[in-house]
Chains A and B, each alone.
Chain A
Amino acid sequence: MTSHSKKAGLFDLRLIIALLFGVYGVVLTITGAGFTTAEEIQKAAGINVNLWAGLGMLVTAAIFVVWAKARPVVVPSEFADDADGVGEPGH
């Protein structure tokens, strides 16, 4: 039990993903809005990919945050049960 209760502290991966896409989203959106040249947009078939991908990543980050808040990581006792196989029938 003691070794497993630590696992409750295992960070929530969804927030890490949100962090990455949040940072990428902000940087790309700013780059796209202010610093992407007409020539670069031309190169990408007329799409301002920095701006649109940036906005898309901000939305993705928001979805992960909402998910993580709505369904937080479960309490340690359940982890311990299943890790020991106690939660399974037949063990």
Chain B
Amino acid sequence: MIELAKSSEPLLDASWLDYTLLGVYFVLVLGIGFLARRSVSSSLDFLLSGRSLPAWVTGLAFISANLGALELLGMTANGAQHGIATVHYYWIGAIPAMVFLGLVMMPFYYGSKVRSVPEFLRRRFGPGAHLVNALSFAVAQVLIAGVNLFALALIMNALLGWSISVSIVIAAAVVLAYTTLGGLSAAIYNEVLQFFVIVAALLPLTIIGLTKVGGWQGLVDKVSASVGGPEQLSAWPATGLTGIADATLSVIGLVFGLGFVLSFGYWTTNFAEVQRAMSAKSMSAAKRTPIIGAYPKVLIPAVIVIPGMIAAVAVPEITALKQGAGAEGVEYNHAIMYLMRDLLPNGFLGVALAGLLASFMAGVAANVSSFNTVFTYDLWQSYVRKDRPDEYYLRVGRLATVGGMVVAIFTALIASGYGNIMDYIQTLFSFFNAPLFATFILAMFWKRMTPAAGWIGLVAGTLAAVAVDRLVAAEVLSLTGQGPAFVGAGAAFVVDILVSVAVSLVTKPKPDKELVGLVYSLTPKADRAHSVTGEDAGWYRSPAVLGAGVLGLTVVLSLLFI
């Protein structure tokens, strides 16, 4: 991306009309911030939306918070490079974990009234595991926000010719304005708006692209005849994606590495996601949040992976790249931008730009709005200034938002010095998520797990993932593609479980009565249940029915593309 950024000619020829449509979008985004401000009167309002949002809003925000820069550019790039197999990131890599979060874990998260994922660890294990998790999460969020900002600036530079630093500052100012004013409500409302704008931009782009290559059959013929060949039209065994040559091992790697450890780790313990569900207005709505989000998640590859595949056969630059003759500075990450350039007229181009910017800002806002909550409740209130009135923490929350954003601007500027920092951050993030999931599973289902095991398990799991990463770097283990991340996450998970069990057996557990509401066997069934009256009535609002429905839909789609 850096090379592209340095080219002086902007990729797109945006007119005043496109800028006007982009401007309309910005005005609405800021308007939501101002309107949401009226509803903020306590720190809980600001940092957790006062737990008042309906399920369809939190569900779409749940998806949108993840539909950031890495997702949009990265998955179209994967589609161009690997073809249909990219759907695994959605169907295997997200749906089961989202349903699991809703049905199995949400009763403990929402039912225990904790305000963050680290706070759950503090209630369950005490300060050791809490501090480890709160600190690593806060640092990771600020770094990732910086990377998102930097990616956004690169795109603006490439597409429209805006300078990198001006783009960073403008984007940061807009996100900061609405998150500081309206807190999580503004961030979530904007995420829902962003979701619709992104779909409104991508759906027509996909339809035009498909028409251009001669419909679905035309795409099939052209992809079959291209470098990747017919394998790129079937999802299994995805050897290209995993970098594991043996078909059986590749499937095992996908199901266990991506499907189980990586995706469960990401979706069930990443506070930037879980926070959206915690802000729901009832237990039923909280359980439904990730499951409602799963429905668009199943379908969204149609407008992300397919455009990537179209770009690989219809965009000359990407076709050349796939044949191994890519021009200087052309990357798979640019696939969707080239497609916009080649297909869209002025007018709709403005909508597509708004969609692209929306996706970037959604990512940054999710990072910042989860950072400020963890900073305020889990670091400042827990370890620095306890027992102040709530207005104090509301102010801390606002200041943390500003502070986090300013630091993110600097990390964005640092990121501009490195070409591959995105891979680096992604790897770092998987270091923390895979062991966290292992710890959570034990913590929620095994009351014997002790406070010492809580933090020692986390640290050991992270070290295991780091060790795998180093072994790959030293070429002791030879893995390519996504292989290292899958194996590293698997190792982190297994080591975390083994160490946690071993440490638990020789240390003292917490008394049962302190674990009510936190551990499955000690929580009465009534506490885990949700109301089925009023706004939560009806079979179609049952989390179990909705969850079964989305799993069924995923299976059907998987069979269609086997």
Assess the A10–B36 pair: CB atoms within 8 A: yes
Closest chain B residue to A48 by CB distance? Answer: B345
Q: Which residues of B contact A32 (CB under 8 A)?
A: 347
Selected interface stretch from B324-332, B413-421, B521-529: B521-529
Asked whether, in the complex, the Cβ of B351 is within 8 Å of the Cβ of A24, the reply is: yes
Selected contact of B535 from candidates A46, A74, A88, CB within 8 Å: A74
**A79–B204 Cα gap in the complex (Å)?**
38
**Residues on the A chain within 8 Å of B526, using CB:** 89-90
B contact residues vs A (CB 8 Å cutoff)? 17, 20-21, 24-25, 28, 31-32, 35-36, 38-39, 41-42, 45, 50-52, 57, 111, 113, 185, 189, 192-193, 196-197, 200, 204, 207-209, 211-212, 281-283, 342-348, 351, 524, 526-531, 534-535
Contacts A/B (CB < 8 Å), 12 sampled? A4-B50, A7-B50, A10-B52, A13-B57, A13-B189, A16-B189, A17-B196, A45-B343, A52-B204, A87-B282, A88-B282, A90-B526
The interface residues of chain A lying within 8 Å CB-to-CB of B192 are 13, 17
Report A-chain residues with C-beta under 8 Å of the C-beta of B211.
45-47
Q: A28-B351, A53-B204, A82-B282 are in contact. Are A36 and B345 (CB under 8 A)?
A: yes
Q: Complex: how many Å from CA A82 to CA B54? A: 11
Q: Does A70 contact B (CB under 8 A)?
A: no
With A6-B39, A20-B24, A28-B348 given, is the CB distance from A90 to B52 under 8 Å? no
* Contact, CB under 8 Å: A45 / B530: no
B348: chain A residues within 8 A (beta carbon): 28, 49-50, 53
Give chain B residues whose Cβ lies under 8 Å from the Cβ of A31.
17, 346-347
Interface residues in chain A, defined as those with a beta carbon under 8 Å from any beta carbon in chain B: 3-4, 6-7, 9-11, 13, 16-17, 19-21, 23-24, 27-28, 31-32, 35-37, 40-41, 43-47, 49-50, 52-53, 56-57, 60, 74, 78-79, 82-83, 85, 87-91
A-B residue pair count with CB separations less than 8 angstroms: 137
User: Closest residue to B390 on the A side, CB-wise?
Assistant: A3
A16, B28: Cβ atoms closer than 8 Å: yes
Please name the residue on chain A nearest to B107 by beta carbon.
Answer: A90
The reply to whether A88 and B283 form a contact with Cβ atoms under 8 Å apart is yes
| A44/B343 contact (C-beta < 8 A), A3-B41, A24-B351, A78-B534 known | yes
Taking A44-B344, A88-B530 as given, write out 12 further A-B residue pairs in contact, using a Cβ cutoff of 8 Å, ordered by the A residue number. Answer: A7-B50, A10-B38, A10-B39, A16-B189, A16-B193, A20-B193, A21-B200, A24-B200, A27-B347, A36-B345, A41-B345, A78-B534
In the assembly, what is the distance between CA of A37 and CA of B530, in Å? 56
Q: Are B208 and A85 touching (Cβ within 8 A)?
A: no
Q: Are B344 and A49 in contact (CB under 8 A)?
A: yes
For B534, list chain A residues within 8 Å (CB): 78, 87
Classify the interface of chain B: helix, strand, loop or mixed.
Answer: helix
List B contacts of A3 (CB < 8 A): 41-42, 45, 50
- Is chain A's interface secondary structure helix, strand, loop, or mixed overall? helix
**What distance in Å separates the Cβ of A14 from its nearest Cβ neighbour in chain B?**
9
Q: Which 10 A-B pairs have the closest CB atoms?
A: A40-B345, A90-B527, A45-B212, A45-B211, A31-B347, A50-B347, A90-B526, A10-B39, A82-B282, A82-B281
B-chain residues with CB within 8 Å of residue A49 when the two chains form the complex: 204, 208, 344-345, 348
Q: When the two chains form their complex, are residues A9 and B344 in contact, meaning their CB atoms are under 8 A apart?
A: no
List the A residue with the shortest CB-CB distance to B200.
A57
* B15 to A: closest C-beta gap in Å: 10
Chain A residues within an 8 Å CB radius of B529: 89-90
Q: How far is the CB of B294 from chain A (nearest CB, A)?
A: 21
Complex: how many Å from CA A45 to CA B211?
6
The interface centre, meaning the residue of A31, A45, A52 with most chain B CB atoms within 10 A of its CB, is A45
B357 to chain A minimum Cβ distance, whole angstroms, is: 14
Bound-state CA distance A31–B42 (Å) is: 46
Q: Are A90 and B111 in contact (CB under 8 A)?
A: yes
Nearest A-chain residue to B529, judged by Cβ: A89
If the complex has contacts A44-B343, A78-B534, are A83 and B52 also in contact, measured as CB distance less than 8 A? Answer: yes
Residues of B within 8 A of A82 (CB): 51-52, 281-282
- Measured between beta carbons, the chain B residues less than 8 angstroms from A47 are 207-208, 211
Residues on B with C-beta less than 8 A from A43 are 342-345
Find the B residue at minimum CB distance from A3.
B41
User: Which of B20, B39, B196, B346 contacts A40 (CB under 8 A)?
Assistant: B346
